[in-house]
Amino acid sequence: MKEHIIALVDCDSFFVSCEQAVEPSLRGQPVCVVTGDNGCVVSRSREAKKAGVKMGMPMFMARREFPSVIYKNARHELYCRYSRRVMTCLREIVPDVEEVSVDEAYADLTSLDRVYRTDYTSLAARIRETIRRTADIPVSIGLGPSKLLAKLASDKAKNCLLYTSPSPRDRSVS
């Protein structure tokens, strides 16, 4: 019986990535998306994370502790539009996709190595590049023989690709 290969495609800092796609000057900057003036931080760029901004931090605290961070109010229509672009890119490569949130989807890659005449790691890299080029959104991809292992691999693979397998000889990272 052929081992299943599941990919979890997870958009990196999705709300911030959407804001950066619309406004490229935000790239490389400490940026947070917030739920409003009296709300909290719901997405952080890598630079904002490095500065110490915490997820869920109330706005009054974030502005006081991190005044140099750029704060953007959430624009859910924008995020839904970018989500559709990401999912369309994914479905153009993989027929079996299960969306689990606005920024995550499982994709069953089983046997697609034969269809695309490549290994699963290269196929996942192709998915990442296609989404980045077409939707302008960075994604992390975890690969594994089950949804659980793909999710665990994706959590470890922020802004890259990680393949976890029950067999040590099959593990690879790129």
| Residues belonging to the active site | 104
> Using CA atoms, how far apart are residues 27 and 108, in angstroms rounded to an integer?
32
DSSP-assigned states of every residue in the chain = -PPP-EEEEEETTHHHHHHHHH-GGGTTS-EEEES-TTSBEEEE-HHHHHHTPPTT-BHHHHHHH-TTSEEEE--HHHHHHHHHHHHHHHHHH-S-EEEEETTEEEEE-TTHHHHHTS-HHHHHHHHHHHHHHHH---EEEEEESSHHHHHHHHHHTTTSEEE--SSGGG-EE-
